[in-house]
Amino acid sequence: MNPAPLLWLCLLALGATASAETPADAVRAVPVAPDAAAATAWQTEPHLSVIPRTEAERARIAKVLAPPTDFSAPEPFETKPAGAATTRLMPGTEAFSQFSPNMPVDREMDFKIGNGIFRKLWVGAPSSTRGSDGLGPLYNARACQNCHIKDGRGHMPDGPDDSRVSAFLRLSIPGGPDRPEIPGYIPTQPDPVYGGQLQDLALEGYLAEARMGVSWTEMPVTLADGSVVSLRRPAYAVEAPAYGPPHPALQVSPRVAPQMIGLGLIEAVPVADIVAGADPEDADGDGISGREQIVWSSQFDRPMLGRFGHKAGNATILEQSASAFSGDMGLSTPLFDSPSGECTDAQTDCRSAPSGQEPGIRDGLEVDGASLDLVNFYSRNLAVPERRGADDPRVLRGKEIAYTIGCTACHRPKFVTHRLKDQPEQSFQLIWPYTDLLLHDMGEGLADGRPESRADGREWRTAPLWGIALNGKVTGVESYLHDGRARSLIEAVLWHGGEAQAARDAVVNLPAEDRKALIAWLESL
C-alpha cells in the first residue's frame, strides 16, 4: 500500500527596525513613532507563508477539535502530540533534543549546525577564536544550552552556592511612553542603571551587576484526605549591586528558561484560532477570562500576538532568540545590533568594552543573520516526544477528571496548525500542546507585580504541558512554573490561583486515587 494517502489522512485527522529608545532592554525595545497602520496589524502573521484553509477544511478541523465525550479510550492520534513531527520517546537526557521526523533529509544539516551554534561557548573579545568572540562583557550564560539544559527547563538554585545560570531576574520600573498601537499597554521602562535584566556574570576586569538572591519558606498545605504537601514560597532580592542602588520603584520578575520542544508548531497555530478562545469579560460565566498578549515586534516593526516566554513577551522564535543573545549573552544580532547587549548608558565601562564586531567578519556582527537563522531553524524543529500510556485506565480516568474540573479551560488540548508553503515540518498538523496561548490571572500567590506589554503583574501565559514530566529526566531536576518553585506536579497545581482557583480547590478535594490519576495523566503527556 502506498503510505502517502495514509499519511495524508493522519495529518488531516479531519474526516526590524532599531528602537528609538535606549537599547537597554531588547525584549521591550519598541519604536517611538510607528506607522499608524500598525495599530490594526497585530492579528497579521508576517512570519508565516500561509495557504488559506478551504471551507471544507474548516469544517473538518472543527470536528476533530471538538472535546471528547468518551473517556474509555484515547482519542484518534492522541499519542502523537506533534502530529507527524512527533518523535519516538528516548528516555533520559536526550528526550528533548531530537529533530522533527518529518523533516526533509536535505534540511537535517541545517538543524545540526543550528544545534552547534546553540551549544557554542562564547568568549570575550578580542580573541583568537574570531568566530566565537563578543560575549558580554556582562552576561548570564556563555551558551544557549547552559540555560535550556539539554533543551529542557532551567531551575532556581536551592542554596546560596548553587548555580544560577539557568535563571535570572527581569527588571523594570513603572512609567515610560504609552503605546496606543497596543490596546491595554501598561507603560514600563528599564531600570536606568541595571536595564531590563540582571546580569550576574562578567568578563575578567568587569563587575557583574549583582547577585540574584533567593530564599525559601516552606508552607504546608493539607488536602481533604489529610495528606500534606509542602510548598516553598520564594523571596527574591538584588544582592550586592555593583553600580549603586537600583531604582526605588524597581519591579523584579524571576524567570527560569523554558523547555524548547514544539516551538515551531506553537508559532504555526493560526492567530484567529487563538483569538477565538479569548474571553476577557468572561461572557460565558465559567470564571476563565483569557486574553491575548500583544507585543511590539522589532522583527516586523508592528504589533503582533505574543506567543513565547512566560508572559508571551515575544511574537516569534527568531525574536525570542535574538532577545536572548542580547540580554543573556551580550551578543549583537541583526535585530539588536548593540555589541554591549543591554548595558545601559550608566555602565560606561561596559559600553566602551571591546566587541566581537569586525568589518568583513559575520556581517560586522557578533551573531550574523545566517547564524541567527540557523538557531531559529533548530529551535523551530525540536521534536515533541510521543505520549506514554495514553490507554492506561488510570491515565484515562485522570484525563476525564482534568476535563471535568476545568483544567482544559486554559490548558486547551489541541489545535491544527496552518498549512504552510515552506515549513513542511509544521504544516497542517493536529497538535496537542495543552495551552490556549492566552494570558490569565493566576492569583496573588504567583504574582510577580511586573507588567510586560499588556500583561499585568498577576497574569501569565498558559504554559504548554506536552513533555512536562520528562523535564526531570532531561535535566536531573524537577522544576515547574515560571520560577521553578514547584518541585513536583502536585506542587505546581496547588500554586494555581485567580482564574484557576476553582480547579485548584477541586484537586485539593479529590479522593486520593483520583488525585493520583490526575497526576498520572499529566505524567503521560
| Interval 362-385: pLDDT, tens | 899 999 999 999 999 999 999 999
Asked if 26 and 199 touch (Cβ cutoff 8 Å), the reply is: no
Domain assignment of residue 310, yes or no = yes
Average per-residue pLDDT for the chain = 92
Per-residue pLDDT tens digits for 239-267: 999 999 999 999 999 999 999 999 999 99
- Is it the case that residue 36 has pLDDT exceeding 60? no
- For 308-338, write each residue's pLDDT tens digit: 999 999 999 999 999 999 999 999 999 999 9
CB 312 within 8 A of CB 437: yes
Percent of the chain with pLDDT over 70: 92
**29 located within any domain:** no
Is the pLDDT at 17 greater than 70? The verdict is no
Q: In which band, very low, low, confident or very high, does the pLDDT at 41 lie, cut at 50, 70 and 90?
A: confident
Residues 503-510: contacts with CB under 8 Å, at least 24 apart: 503/405, 503/406, 503/407, 503/409, 506/405, 506/406, 507/405, 508/221, 508/223, 508/224, 509/223, 509/224, 510/224, 510/401
- Tell me what pLDDT residue 40 has: 56
The candidate with the shortest Cα–Cα distance to 365, out of 133, 142, 120, 123, is: 133
Nearest alpha carbon to residue 431 among 397, 383, 473: 383
Average pLDDT of span 405-429: 98
307 in Cβ contact with 275 (< 8 Å): no
* pLDDT tens-place string over residues 442-453: 999 999 999 999
Q: Do residues 171 and 250 touch, judged by C-beta distance below 8 A? A: yes
Spatial separation of the C-alpha atoms in residues 427 and 142, rounded to whole Å? 34
Which residues are within 8 A (CB) of 241 and not within 5 positions of it... i.e. 6 or more apart?
194, 209, 210
User: pLDDT digits over 157-205, tens only?
Assistant: 877 777 788 899 999 999 999 999 999 999 999 999 999 999 999 999 9
In-domain check, residue 409: yes
| pLDDT bracket for residue 59 (50, 70, 90) | very high
pLDDT of the residue at 446 = 98
Burial of 382 (0-12, 13-18, 19+ CB in 10 A): buried
Give CA angle at 276 (275, 282), nearest 5°: 95
Cell numbers describing residue 349: 565601562
Residue 25 belongs to a domain: no
Give me 101's grid cell. 521526523
Cβ atoms of 434 and 412 within 8 Å: the answer is yes
Rounded to an integer, the average pLDDT of 107-124 is 97
Question: Does any domain span residue 179?
Answer: yes
Question: Is residue 1 a part of any domain in this protein?
Answer: no
Structural domain of residue 53, as residue ranges?
41-524
When pLDDT is averaged across residues 231-246 and rounded to a whole number, the result is: 96
Confidence of residue 31 (pLDDT cuts 50, 70, 90): very low
Can you read off the three cell numbers belonging to residue 393? 485506565
Q: Report how many domains make up the chain.
A: 1
Question: Is residue 280 one of the residues assigned to a domain?
Answer: yes
- Residue 490 contacts residue 222 (beta carbons within 8 Å): no
- Dihedral over Cα of 120, 258, 343, 185: its sign: positive
What type of residue is 279?
D
